[in-house]
Amino acid sequence: MAIDADTKLVPCWLVGLRNANYAFQFIRDLKRRLSNRVQLTTDGNRIYLDVVDDLFSDNVDYAMLVKMCGSDPESERRYSPAKCTGTEIQIIKGNPEQSHISTSFVERQNLTMRMNMRRFTRLTNAFSKKVDNLKCAVALHFMYYNFARVHKTLDMTPAMAAGIADHVWTLEEIALLEKFQKSSISN
């Protein structure tokens, strides 16, 4: 998923594998939603190097934040993630501002998603049995997050901060979207 550091808006996301095909789909979707040159930071997945280069060419300030992980024998437990022992910033393209090279907002959004959707809770059997169900749950989560959930640091929703909404949406408004979409498709 992508997130704007200033507005906290999640402009796009993709449920899929971490391979070149999905990376291309994801970055292409992100690029289509942007109108200006942006600063982009990705994690250390090397697949993004060619994809960002192909899709953005020279119209991006791009950095990669690579985390070095290792095990901590004292805190090693069966399901504990590896401990981050350091990070390395790699400037890939353009002139990204050092102070904005971060993946922290995406990582925090991942935690928000895990806390708000039971299917993402670790060590649970509440997972989606079908990929389409997972995609719908993720879309509903981000619709609510962007348009109906007031962000504590913004005192408004991310969509309002980005200037694409003028009010906090209700759950009823979100639920009516599908009804409106179905009626416009049949017309």
Over residues 96-143, the pLDDT tens digits come to 999 999 998 998 888 888 888 877 776 777 777 788 988 988 999 999
Q: Is residue 135 part of a domain?
A: yes
What is the pLDDT at residue 117? 82
Report DSSP letters for 29-89, one per residue.
HHHHT--S-EEEEE-S-THHHHHHHHHHTTSEEEEEEEEEEE--TTT--TTPPPEEEEEEE
Q: Is residue 9 part of a domain?
A: no
What is the pLDDT at residue 133? 87
Q: What's the distance, CA 186 to chain centroid?
A: 32
E strand or H helix at 124, and its extent? none
Q: What is the CA radius of gyration of the chain?
A: 18
Helix, strand, coil share of the chain (percent; to 5): 40, 15, 40
Domain count, the chain: 1
Spatial distance between the Cα atoms of 95 and 81, rounded to a whole number of angstroms = 33
Q: What average pLDDT does this structure show over 27-53?
A: 94
Rounded to two decimals, what is the model's pTM? 0.82
Q: Is residue 138 part of a domain?
A: yes
- Of 3-12, 23-32, 174-183, least confident by mean pLDDT is 174-183
Q: Is residue 38 part of a domain?
A: yes
Q: Is residue 71 part of a domain?
A: yes
Range of the domain at 29: 20-186
Q: Is residue 8 part of a domain?
A: no
182 pLDDT band, cuts 50/70/90, is low
Task: Give the number of other CB atoms < 10 A from CB of residue 17.
Answer: 9
With 80 as the cut, is the pLDDT of residue 5 above it?
Answer: yes
Q: Is residue 11 part of a domain?
A: no
With 80 as the cut, is the pLDDT of residue 173 above it?
Answer: yes
What is the pLDDT at residue 20? 95
Q: Which percentage of the chain shows pLDDT scores above 70?
A: 88
Over residues 51-101, the pLDDT tens digits come to 999 999 889 999 999 988 776 666 556 666 677 778 889 999 999 999 999
Do 27 and 38 touch, CB atoms closer than 8 A? no
Q: Is residue 127 part of a domain?
A: yes
